[in-house]
A = this chain, B = another copy of it.
């Protein structure tokens, strides 16, 4: 029924405000489309429609994206209130879903996703066939607030509010190289020896540099002749004999091609944390996966202080 008398307020599709906010926050139609699982032309049309409905220009178009106009900025606070209310709906609804079925999204670092989680997820799937698992390998920080993931595995303790965390234990880190490399170039015995060796490092991240500094060694990025930011590729470079690098001990020890190098000092281990939104604790399927994850990860870590 096309009822022209229907109030425009009642008729205006709330989804358009959702689009508005996504564009405002990401600064581009493409970015908003990715966040909403939509496409750029769709977002463009929705913004146009909203602007036409309200009779004003919400964004100024730049070659690098869209930015809020003065009028658009006025609407933003109310749109954010809508979003906050929507978040409340999603969280309380999730907490009321008592079934042990549905989808649980897990995010973890690429290395952990690649080397550690697959068998654990297989086990979860076996024990809880009703629960579908989505694994989101990512070395960037995922935002639990928006529930991009239900459970996050992290190497640090989240400081976000409303997020519950659990210290599973620590992942040992060691210095490794491929046997082929060591046969060719010999075994370093001390940190000083490293200066005459090929090292594998990161291009963007300064994790190793800072780690070495913490251990008392000053080293520049240029000291690493091979550099790669993708963790899994980093590991393949190490396996292939590109040089000496760092790795999680569990991963390295499972590979007969590589060998640990003792430089006479210990590398501080990486803490492994589980994190989830507080409201998710009340959702059975997520609580269940949380528990199975914790149990499955235990053999891979050194015990935490408490347990």
Is A33 part of the contact surface with B, judged by Cβ < 8 Å? yes
The contact of A17 among B11, B86, B105, by CB within 8 Å, is B86
Range for the number of chain A residues in contact with chain B: 35 or more
Let me know if B88 and A81 touch, CB within 8 A: yes
| A92 CB within 8 Å of chain B | yes
If A37-B3, A78-B88, A81-B85 touch, whether A9 touches B96 (CB-CB below 8 Å) is: no
| Complex interface bits, A1-41 against B, C-beta within 8 A gives 1, otherwise 0 | 11111111111111101100010000000000111111100
A54→B93 contact, CB < 8 A: yes
Contact between B86 and A9, CB atoms less than 8 A apart: yes
Q: Report yes or no: B102 in contact with A55, Cβ–Cβ below 8 A.
A: yes
How long is the Cα–Cα vector from A94 to B71 in the complex, in angstroms?
Answer: 11
What residues of chain A have their CB less than 8 Å away from a CB belonging to chain B? 1-15, 17-18, 22, 33-39, 54-56, 71, 74-75, 78-79, 81-82, 84-90, 92-94, 96-97, 99, 102-103, 105, 134, 136, 146-149
- Contact yes or no, A55 B97, CB < 8 A: yes
List residues of chain B with CB within 8 A of the CB of A56: 93, 96-97
What would 4 more interface pairs be, CB under 8 Å, given A7-B105, A75-B89?
A7-B147, A10-B36, A12-B90, A55-B99
Q: Are A37 and B1 in contact (CB under 8 A)?
A: yes
Q: Which residue of B lies closest to A144 (CB)?
A: B7
Chain B residue at minimum C-beta to C-beta distance from A70? B96
